[in-house]
Amino acid sequence: MKFQLPKGRYLVSGGAGFIGSHLSEVLIENGCEVVVVDNFITGRPQNIKSLLGRRSFSLVEQDLVSPLKISGQLAGIFHLASPASPVDYAKFPIETLHVGAIGSDNILKLAQEKDCPILVASTSEVYGDPLQHPQQETYWGNVNPIGPRGCYDESKRYMEALTMAYRRVHHVRTRIARIFNTYGPRMRPDDGRVVPNFCKQALANEPVTVFGDGMQTRSFCFVDDLVGGLVQLMGSDHAEPINLGNPQEMTINQFAEKIIRFCKSQSKIQYLPLPQDDPKTRCPDITLAKSILHWEPRVDLDLGLEKTVEYFRTH
């Protein structure tokens, strides 16, 4: 993947995570230096194993809730650090809130100190269980702040507000990416999201568990496309939130059947009660990304799933 970002030294918080590790690789492949900051609460050392020992790569093992001290200049910061799956933020709700609030404050301070642009990774979860479909950036959301998902939803909503405050008060060059469902190699098999869940179950010929009646909809963006969108956004001067995701929508039932076929599995679908506040629809309007970033997903779902299933088959 080629891009037009200035070559330089970039910090990637959460860089040992699923998306962060792919982003770090792409930056290094394009001649940049990368400093990954991760406390490995949900990130995995094996995700960055191929980067260790390279002169253009360094690792800082630290929780962002502690102030971050980085010597030298930075060309930019990608702030991806946060638990990001329902299983993870149910297990670490306080840590999720802290990294969204205190951690984001610390890294925005660093961007101010280094006088460099910062991209913060927000989420489609800021829209909650949306009453608008598809979701546009102008929609303010339908979020339950005290529900089991509130720790993640509100941490990201607060992070967005804090980011805009740093822009207005301190003139920090900020970008906000609202990331929709992303999938691909390096997802943790136990992270609780639909793609690893279905792949793991189908490959083992176990029942594929669908919550509710399976008629809720999702859209799935391959990680290579998402990373391309993050890079394009960092290279722009767009300050308002922007959706990054795939607008091709399908029901969870349709997706479960597709995974079963891809895995050549004998699995059957098993229906379980729908978790509280689980969104009924989730699909991005990417008009803004198309017009401003000239970005849209290009990897066909079948091709992306082929690579993802093979990853889970061999890992």
Active-site positions read 152
Paired strand residues for 59: 36
Instruction: Taking the CA atoms of 112, 224, 217 and 275 in sequence, report the sign of the dihedral they define.
Output: negative
Would you state the structure tokens that stand for residue 272, as one six-digit string?
Answer: 């379980």
Q: In this structure, how many other beta carbons lie within 10 angstroms of the beta carbon of residue 91?
A: 14
Read off φ and ψ for residue 276, nearest 5 degrees.
Answer: -60, 135
Q: Phi first, then psi: what are they for 217, rounded to 5°?
A: -110, 150
**106/96 Cα distance (integer angstroms):** 15
Helix boundaries (H) for 13-144:
18-29, 86-91, 93-98, 104-114
The CA-based dihedral angle spanning residues 224, 229, 234, 235, taken in that order and rounded to the nearest 10 degrees: 100
Q: Which pair of structure tokens corresponds to residue 182? A: 């992303």
| Tokens found for residue 20 | 């962060």
CA separation for the pair 230, 303 (Å, rounded): 21
Burial bucket for residue 159 (CB in 10 Å: 0-12, 13-18, 19+): buried
